[in-house]
A and B are shown apart, each in its own frame.
Chain A
Amino acid sequence: QQPVQSPQAVILREGEDAVINCSSSKALYSVHWYRQKHGEAPVFLMILLKGGEQKGHEKISASFNEKKQQSSLYLTASQLSYSGTYFCGTENTGNQFYFGTGTSLTVIP
């Protein structure tokens, strides 16, 4: 039931854009996005509760396609501070929470 993320890893230069995808085989109630830096706890980025919902925070935004059971995280004009591992988290209708497989993002100067 663990959501699958793609790509597994990506390297960007500062200022480039990236898209991280999250796909589930089960019906989703919500999708969360987190960033975890090495040796630190995951940090909540945003939650999408409804199919079709889109949210954004500064240059990071996300969308949720409920019918396709997919979500995407968009990082625009990446900064060095964006480096880390990104996880989607999905909650099914039974209130069970699953983190995705993770995407390692490295931003280089």
Chain B
Amino acid sequence: DAGVTQSPTHLIKTRGQQVTLRCSPKSGHDTVSWYQQALGQGPQFIFQYYEEEERQRGNFPDRFSGHQFPNYSSELNVNALLLGDSALYLCASSWLNEQFFGPGTRLTVL
């Protein structure tokens, strides 16, 4: 079992650009959640997808959007990037309340 995988590992963008991050959940997991973790802070919940629908959303603007595919993999899209969007973006898949995190994508906005 490969566990939760994310791509890319690192990404550098400039302000105003758009970015897409990808996540493949652990085998058998049907729920995917996305988190933003700024340096020195705890992860902040962005949203959760289940059965290809956004089930819950944290306090993030509409610039943050996502998608879940029939194979349960997921994408996180961020439009009009701001310097403050620089962070580690974590994807977590879950089954029966146990949540497993991927290694994350480090996004730097210049």
Contact = CB atoms under 8 A, between A and B. Distances in A.
Interface string B71-110: 0000000000000000000100000011111111000000
Interface string B42-55: 11110010000001
Interface residues of B, number: 20
Nearest to A47: B97
Contacts of B43: 42, 87, 99
A94 interface: yes
A87 to B, nearest CB: 5
Contact of A44 (B33, B35, B56, B99): B99
B58 interface: yes
A97 interface: yes
* Dominant secondary structure at the B interface: strand
A97 B92 CA distance: 12
Interface residues of A, number: 21
A43 B43 CA distance: 12
Contacts of A87: 42-43
A36 B58 CA distance: 21
Contact of A96 (B58, B100, B104): B58
A30 B56 contact: no
A81 interface: no
A99 B48 CA distance: 14
Interface of B: 33, 35, 41-45, 48, 55-56, 58, 90, 97-104
Given A44-B100, A99-B42, 5 more contacts: A2-B42, A96-B58, A97-B56, A98-B45, A99-B35
Interface of A: 2, 30, 32, 40-44, 47, 49, 87, 89, 94-102
